[in-house]
Structure 1
Amino acid sequence: MATHTAPVPAAAARCFDFDVIVLGAGIMGSCTAHAAVSRGARVLLLERLDLLHGLGSSHGESRTIRDAYPDARYPPMVRLASRLWADAEAESGRRVLTPTPLLLMGPRSNTSVIAAARNAGTEEVDVAARWGGAFRLPDGWVAAVSEHGSGVLHATGAVKMFQDLAVHKGAVVRDNAEVVEIRKGPEGGVAVRTSTGEEFHGAKCVVTVGAWTRRLIKSAAGVELPIQPLHTLVLYWRIKPGREGELTAEAGFPTFSSYCDPLYVYSTPSLERPGMIKINYHGGPPCDPDDRDLVSGGGDVVERVARWIDEFMPGHVETAGGPVDQLPCMYSMTPDEDFVIDFLGGEFGQDVVVGAGFSGHGFKMGPAVGMILAEMALDGEARTAAEAGVELGHFRINRFEGNPMGNAKDQ
């Protein structure tokens, strides 16, 4: 994979405190800071809360990585990210990815599961023979497995890995620094102001503030991005006695996705919590990121997942009494569930780059998104993405102009 290292213009070095100011230190911002500082840029990474806090979208013990997508636009980005995950692990000497098989399940009539299986190059499998009756699938369902490109990422550990790599290369990282204003700088570039009155000046700014994006972009540029925060719950369920060893990553149990309209249920094998398995529903009710019920604000998510388990995994996972633990998380949803990766435009032109709306499926692509955002900020284009076959046209802000559903009109 080619690496581009263009020098930072001398004018930028004279006029600004930093070449790139990154707002938001979740997975996207941390990866962006690492990518930019790796190219020799002077980088400031600002986080509104504590580093590695649990109130956004990047915390927790596990996320899946998979290249099985119904939309062909995503697998190239996942594959680029997979290479960058491996590079970061090698650079840091840490392991944050546990490879596992990937299982896709759904009615044979469901076009999404068929397209996802095709795009990932999966093969049909007899789940009863492969996993000892852990799953009970209805007649007419298809099950397909992939043995490559999938696994479980340690979420908080991954964010810390990229932050530590960025700091080691010279990036400045500040937490408890909530940015309340973005404006054009007096000598060009961008000025950002925090809630405590501090100001920082950068040649470029990258906004990766997750569920807080809509509010910040509206105040900065008057642009209304249709990004809705959703409150969701990470659910851990008790494995039935005697079955604990069967559902572990060590035993080869897969991450899985169940396409069952209107439900999309996903899971990771038993890994971070012995005797428990994480099984979740994709979605949740709308929320205010600063005012939400962290314990029971997930609507009927628990009931939906329990019903799925009782139907599909009744002999292996216990639902009586509900999940053993439920932890808060947030999605930042666009109407079409596609990302926003674009220049802000307007008076800011190409000086502000926005990475947002990752809609509950972006974490796995963090390193690729970070490289794309850094290259857009520093070069005005994302050449590495283009070389990897990643098409960014679907992620432009202007797709919502006169069309509130964005890319959903094409589906």
Structure 2
Amino acid sequence: MKFTRKPQDGSEIKMEKMVKWVQGSSPIHLICDFRNYQKYLSSVRRRRNSVIYVNCRPRKEKRAHKKKEEKIKMAVSGEEFDVIVVGAGVMGSSTAYQVSKRGHKVLLLEQFDFLHQRGSSHGESRTIRATYPEEYYYPMVMESYKLWEEAESHIGYKVYFKAQQFDMGSSDDKCLREVIATCQKHSIPHEILDRQQVSDKFSGRFDIPDNWVGVCTSNGGVIKPTKAVSMFQTLAIQNGTVLRDYMEVEDIRKDGVKGGVWVYTSNGEKFWGKKCVVTVGAWTTKLVKTVSGIDLPIQPLETMVCYWRIKEGHEDKYAIGGDFPTFASYGEPYIYGTPSLEFPGLIKVAVHGGYPCDPDKRPWGPGMALGTLKQWVEERLSSLVDSGGPVATQLCMYSMTPDEDFVIDFLGGEFGKDVVVGGGFSGHGFKMSPVVGRILSDLVLTGEAKGIELKHFRIGRFEENPKGNFKEFLHYVM
């Protein structure tokens, strides 16, 4: 492993000693000095021929009132916090960052290792778009664009890469018609294209039927998931948040004496918080049922992401940063994709949906039926993309509600407004994680969220209608 410093003039200098302040340009962030160099090396997973670039400030001269060296903060059983966040995926990490930057003492608990791959917050790409059939997501996405860039400016590296967004489908598809209505209502600049215009705009890279239309906007892009979670966790740590992994929360109980709640873990530890936020993804139904008896209809689904090979000599035409868009194909099934980013020469094209699973007993890869997806790639992309089958796949999970809308609400009952739940993000929430973190922070700190209407995300909607919010258009989940 080689360590390299990048001075302001852009040259590279091998580091002869570790400096005291380090802010990494990668997801690895450290505070250490040369005396701990060997200890540091032994604590980092070794990777051959890897280079970690770090931006370094020179060591300041010793002063009489030099501050003590920073130490990693560790919560001890029984310790008290202003807010305890349960679940350190992207929603929990974003919430911890938002709460801590307002000056509150925060504990972030994770049942597995940090940045694990057993939930919904890992991987190399997620799409972001403002073209939603449900217009109430529009303000959430637009605020998220700003919050992504704000967080990037604080951390010093990028997790969000801009692109066009291209939506396509039959001209009479209800979802696509609602997308166009959203564009018109919110004055989103957009183009509505027929088959020939689509072919001309994208130089033959898309081929749609004569009875289809395409809708092109500039509000698209790709987010790096694992790197984004690391960013929020790092910013939270910088604000004083305490992080503990391998802390599976078994129960949350109301403190009837002094108020607040006690959070109990499977290894026998407990922590007190004035407030608590539950963001445990596919485990939401299990934990909420244990804590409150409420049976939330959030179904974990195992899904598979597929990567397809771009034909030789055409790789640059699909690369992020060019004119190739993130895209969505409305119909049955709903298919989406991204430009080439994480794996050069491969394009991501996948089906929105999956098969029901128990998050603790996942099948881990029986695979989804690829026939329909292969046919779609053959018919829409095959001029420059090999449609013979995906050359790489990755597994992930959705936490699906019946209406595919989020759950963002107070748990209520004996907990009142002391416990807030964020879950059921249904395979399309990652892009909005910055604003979800802001909303959950507002709820837990002030009792209300500013600027966003939350009636569509109430827990109580499933009591009124087991299918949740009424929608005229179909959902395309297996």
Describe the SS at the equivalent of 1:150: strand
For the pair 1:76 / 2:139, whether they are aligned, the reply is yes
Which letter does structure 1 place at the counterpart of 2:415?
A: F
Which letter does structure 1 place at the counterpart of 2:130?
A: D
Q: Hey, which of these two has a bigger chunk of helix by percent?
A: 1
Describe the SS at the equivalent of 2:469: helix
Describe the SS at the equivalent of 1:74: helix
User: Alpha-carbon deviations, 1:350-393, whole Å to 9, x = none?
Assistant: 0000000000000000010001001100111112xx2xxx2111
Percent identity, aligned pairs only, is 53
Q: Offset at 1:319? A: 2.6
Check conservation: 1:63, 1:364, Cα contact below 8 A. Answer: yes
In the other structure, the counterpart of 1:12 is none
Relative to structure 1, the CA distance from residue 271 to residue 285 in structure 2 (aligned partners, 3 Å threshold; closer, same or farther) is same
Query: Residues of 1 paired with 2:368 and 2:160: CA distance?
Result: 31
Unpaired runs of 5+ residues, structure 2, are: 1-77, 474-478
Check conservation: 1:206, 1:352, Cα contact below 8 A. Answer: yes
In the other structure, the counterpart of 1:115 is 178
In the other structure, the counterpart of 2:39 is none
Which letter does structure 1 place at the counterpart of 2:260?
A: G
Match of 2:148 among 82, 85, 93: 85
Relative to structure 1, the CA distance from residue 317 to residue 409 in structure 2 (aligned partners, 3 Å threshold; closer, same or farther) is closer
Match of 1:95 among 141, 155, 158: 158
Give the alignment's Cα RMSD to 1 decimal: 1.3
Describe the SS at the equivalent of 2:247: coil
In the other structure, the counterpart of 1:398 is 460
Residue correspondence of structure 1 range 211-360 to structure 2 within 5 A:
211-260=282-331, 262-296=332-366, 298-300=367-369, 302-320=370-388, 322-360=389-427
Check conservation: 2:192, 2:213, Cα contact below 8 A. Answer: yes
For the pair 1:156 / 2:229, whether they are aligned, the reply is no
In the other structure, the counterpart of 1:8 is none
In the other structure, the counterpart of 1:30 is 93
For the pair 1:63 / 2:63, whether they are aligned, the reply is no
User: Alpha-carbon deviations, 1:312-350, whole Å to 9, x = none?
Assistant: 112122132x21111110000000000000000001110
Residue correspondence of structure 1 range 342-381 to structure 2 within 5 A:
342-381=409-448
Query: Residues of 1 paired with 2:323 and 2:199: CA distance?
Result: 14
Q: Offset at 1:241? A: 1.8
User: Alpha-carbon deviations, 1:40-82, whole Å to 9, x = none?
Assistant: 1100000011100011001000001111001111010001111
Q: Offset at 1:187? A: 2.3
Which letter does structure 2 place at the counterpart of 1:368?
A: V
Q: Offset at 1:295? A: 2.4
Query: Residues of 2 paired with 1:226 and 1:347: CA distance?
Result: 21
Shift >6 Å, 4+ stretches: none
Residue correspondence of structure 1 range 8-27 to structure 2 within 5 A:
17-27=80-90
Q: Report the TM-score when normalising by structure 1.
A: 0.92
Query: Residues of 1 paired with 2:153 and 2:313: CA distance?
Result: 37
User: Alpha-carbon deviations, 1:69-111, whole Å to 9, x = none?
Assistant: 0111101000111111111011111111110001010111012
Match of 1:51 among 114, 120, 136: 114
In the other structure, the counterpart of 2:7 is none
Unpaired runs of 5+ residues, structure 1, are: 1-14
Aligned residues: 387
Q: Offset at 1:408? A: 2.9
> Is the radius of gyration larger for structure 1 or structure 2?
2
